[in-house]
Structure 1
Amino acid sequence: MTAFAELHHRDTPLLLPNAWDHASAAALAAQGFEAIGTTSLGVAAAAGLPDGAGATRDATLDLALRLGQGPYLLSVDAEGGFSDDPDEVAEAARELAAAGAVGINLEDGLGSVRLHVAKIAAVKAAVPGLFVNARTDTYWLGDGDEQETARRLGAYQQAGADGVFVPGLTDSTRIAALVKALDVPLNILYSPSGPAVTQLGDLGVRRVSLGSMLYRRALGAALETAADIRAGRTPSGSAPAYHQVEALSPRREA
């Protein structure tokens, strides 16, 4: 079992914050997070591209190349693998692993189960040590059908997924029932309106992701600060000093 996989088998769930650039990842690592994910929305928005449309393959690989050698374990949100060809998805996974990624998140977008199974199997065959977190969007994009969720996750487990992800699921009873039906760790997307991280751990959840929340809150804070200044108000909240942000970048030799 890899070091990253082991983080999914502890008594407390892995809280995985999601970064969108070098500074955000370095700042999170400085706060003691031993594993960090990327957020596809943050990567896409920073590049002026749509999220979830397979348009960010190059931007995602570029970010992985910059983050992959950091002092943390890196998991990459690869949307649906940036292709409907399992071989191309496997090649993207190879490149991400070569960049230093130890995990990959693959979403089904409520598309074909057979195709997603083929993608998972291709990635595991190409990079056996890469932790594949197979996401289903039955709650995120669909109506939360429990039987359909179980059907999809069962197929993804059989294909070799190391963990499964169900964003949008916040009901404690349904989470507990799903944990009991699974043979691999369950990943839940944190929601302010859902259970706290400790409660999710008590339910059996082994990984809690923050998704795009940090990116969106950072953007929201920037907008609030600009609005306060324009209105003649002193900005509220906190911000790291210039030298603290500068210190997040590797020092260059003279």
Structure 2
Amino acid sequence: MTAFAALHRAGEPLLLPCAWDHASAFALAGQGFRAVGTTSLGVAAAAGMPDGASATREETLRLALTLGSGPFLLSVDAEDGFSDDPDEVAAFAREVAAVGAVGINLEDALGPTDRHAAKIAAVKSAVPGLFVNARTDTYWLGGGEGDGEGESRAAETMRRLDAYRAAGADGVFVPGLTDPARIAALVARLDVPLNILHSPTGPTLAHLADLGVRRVSLGSLLYRRALGAALETAADLVAGRVPRGSAPTYDEVRALGS
């Protein structure tokens, strides 16, 4: 078992914060996080590109190169692998592993199950030690939990996860799923770690731990909160108010680049 895989513990899930640049990743590591992910939204938005459109392959690889030698374990959000060709996805996985990444997140975007399974199998064949977190978007893009199709959606989710696990996925990710009963049911069916995306309106980290979840991702939350804080600060200054919240000093941020 790799050091990264060992962090996916029952009862003490891996809380994975997601960075978008060198400073955010190293600041998170400075707060004691042993592993850091990347956020595809943050990478895309910073480059002025759309998220989830397979447009940021080079930007993602560049960030992996920047962060791969950092004092933390790095997992890279690679959207759908930036290609429909499993061999091209495997080639990208080799590149991020070569610069120090220990994990990769691959989303199916509700495309064909067999195609996503082929990507997973190709990555595991090319880089056996890379932790593949296989994401299905049945709840993220499929209408959520309140659309009256709960049972059929749960069945489709399990069908996809079974295929991805059979293809060699080390863990599975179901963003958008927040119902405790359905989360517990998935955990009971799976023999690999279940990753859930943290939701401010969903179960707490402690509750997710009790349900058996072994990885909780923050996704784009920190990036969006950072943008929100910047806008609030600007609005406070325009209104003549003292800005709310806290901020690292100039020297503290400068030191992150050392």
| Corresponding residue of 1:183 | 191
For 1:69 and 1:92, the matched residues in 2 are separated by 18
Deviates more, 1:129-138 or 1:226-235: 226-235
Query: How far is 1:11 from its partner?
Result: 3.4
| Corresponding residue of 2:66 | 66
For 2:143 and 2:52, the matched residues in 1 are separated by 19
Deviates more, 1:4-13 or 1:42-51: 4-13
**SS of aligned partner of 2:256:** coil
Query: How far is 1:181 from its partner?
Result: 0.6
Moved >3 Å (runs of 4+): none
For 2:28 and 2:248, the matched residues in 1 are separated by 13
**SS of aligned partner of 1:234:** coil
| Corresponding residue of 1:211 | 219
**SS of aligned partner of 1:101:** coil
Change beyond 3 A, Cα 1:220–1:23: same
- The letter for the 2-side match of 1:241 is T
Q: Following superposition of structure 1 onto structure 2, how do residues 190-209 of structure 1 map, counting pairs within 5 Å? A: 190-209=198-217
- The letter for the 1-side match of 2:203 is P
| Corresponding residue of 1:163 | 171
- The letter for the 1-side match of 2:208 is L
| Corresponding residue of 2:142 | 142
Query: How far is 1:10 from its partner?
Result: 4.8
Query: What percentage of residue pairs aligned between the two structures are identical?
Result: 76
Query: How far is 1:96 from its partner?
Result: 0.3
Q: Following superposition of structure 1 onto structure 2, how do residues 1-254 of structure 1 map, counting pairs within 5 Å? A: 1-144=1-144, 145-250=153-258
Q: Which runs of 5+ in 1 are unaligned?
A: none
For 2:4 and 2:241, the matched residues in 1 are separated by 45
- The letter for the 2-side match of 1:54 is S
For 1:109 and 1:36, the matched residues in 2 are separated by 23
* TM norm structure 2: 0.96
* TM norm structure 1: 0.97
- The letter for the 2-side match of 1:161 is A
Query: How far is 1:230 from its partner?
Result: 1.2
Deviates more, 1:12-21 or 1:227-236: 227-236
Change beyond 3 A, Cα 1:60–1:93: same
For 2:75 and 2:216, the matched residues in 1 are separated by 13
Query: How far is 1:183 from its partner?
Result: 1.0
1:87-141 deviation per Cα after TM superposition (whole angstroms, max 9, x unaligned): 0000000000001100000000000001000000000000000000000000000
Query: How far is 1:228 from its partner?
Result: 1.0
Deviates more, 1:115-124 or 1:224-233: 224-233
- The letter for the 1-side match of 2:31 is Q
Query: How far is 1:249 from its partner?
Result: 1.1
Q: Contact conserved, 2:108 with 2:116, CA < 8 A, in 1?
A: yes
Deviates more, 1:160-169 or 1:143-152: 143-152
For 1:96 and 1:11, the matched residues in 2 are separated by 30
Q: Contact conserved, 2:10 with 2:212, CA < 8 A, in 1?
A: no
**SS of aligned partner of 1:141:** coil
